[in-house]
Structure 1
Amino acid sequence: MSTPVRPQVSTQTTPAPSPNTAPSLAADRPQPPRKWWIAPLVGVLVALPVQLVAAFLLLVSPMALDSCSAANPCGRTEAAIATTLILFLLAVLSLGLPWYPAKRKSRGVGIGMSLIPLGLTLASIGTLLLGIGLG
């Protein structure tokens, strides 16, 4: 007589997939804060008119050097104009800086980063005015 063959059942359990190895779904990703774009937009809209004033002052500042001569050197004014140019270029380049952190981080980070272009622009104007003797 032959005995019936039973199927062998494995007693080993398969481990559950780890959350680190599971593919990420779009719903699992953190959503940006609501209205994240307001702080960078306000920062740019406030900084642009101030930057126009800074650009105008920078363009007319070489007239401050008209009175410079060998007897009356204007080294401080030339250094102030060069520093103002560097600060102004950094301010223009920093207009795009607040957009990424404002979307990815908290609202406070976005507001803080939005103040950078305005601060650099005001620093450039102050440096120029102090350098040409109006401050």
Structure 2
Amino acid sequence: MSTPVRPQVPTQSSPMPSPSAAESRFADRAQPRRKWWIAPLGGVLVALPVQLVAAFLLLMSPMALDSCTAANPCGRTEGAIGAALVLLLLALLSLGVPWYPAKRKSLGVGIGVSLIPLGLTLASIGTLLFGIGFG
């Protein structure tokens, strides 16, 4: 009686996983999560009204410079208005930033990145109020 011939299997295991396993692992990570859009949308809906308040304060702030004369310069107020303007523009530009990380990363990253526009807006308001003299 003859014995069946077994195919020879290499005894050494490959240290690297097969390319298809690595690709599937990265493909799973690249897939968007369900309801990923809630965190950035919530961040935008909270930041926009606060940005409107910041813009109103920024438009009214030149009245704080009415009392400035050569004898009484208002350098700190002018600098604060400029800094608040830059921070508010950055906050407006950053409204689009949270959408990609929220879609591709974890929930914590999505929520954290969604707070960037709100943080910049609040920094703008704080800088403006501190420079005018309310802080």
TM-score range, shorter chain: 0.7 to 0.9
Query: 1:21 Cα shift?
Result: 7.2
What is the alpha-carbon distance in structure 1 between the residues aligned to residue 85 and residue 78 of structure 2?
11
What is the alpha-carbon distance in structure 2 between the residues aligned to residue 118 and residue 74 of structure 1?
28
- Unaligned segments of structure 2, at least 5 residues: 1-16
- How much identity, in percent, do the aligned residues show? 78
What is the alpha-carbon distance in structure 1 between the residues aligned to residue 133 and residue 117 of structure 2?
24
Report what 2:34 is aligned to: 34
The correspondence of residues 1-135 of structure 1 with structure 2, limited to 5 A, is 19-20=18-19, 29-30=27-28, 31-135=31-135
Query: 1:33 Cα shift?
Result: 1.5
Runs of 4+ in 1 over 3 A off after TM superposition: none
What is the alpha-carbon distance in structure 1 between the residues aligned to residue 115 and residue 122 of structure 2?
11
State the TM-score, normalized to the length of structure 1: 0.80
Pair member with larger Rg = 1
Structure 1 counterpart of 2:96, one-letter code: G
**Change beyond 3 A, Cα 1:33–1:21:** closer
What is the alpha-carbon distance in structure 2 between the residues aligned to residue 48 and residue 85 of structure 1?
15
- Unaligned segments of structure 1, at least 5 residues: 1-17
1:41-92 deviation line (CA, Å, top 9, x unaligned): 0000000000000001101111100000001100000000000011001100
What is the alpha-carbon distance in structure 1 between the residues aligned to residue 113 and residue 95 of structure 2?
10
Question: Residue 116 of structure 2 aligns to a residue in which SS?
Answer: helix
The structure with the greater share of residues assigned to helix is 2
What is the alpha-carbon distance in structure 2 between the residues aligned to residue 129 and residue 29 of structure 1?
48
Root-mean-square deviation (CA, aligned residues, Å) is: 2.4
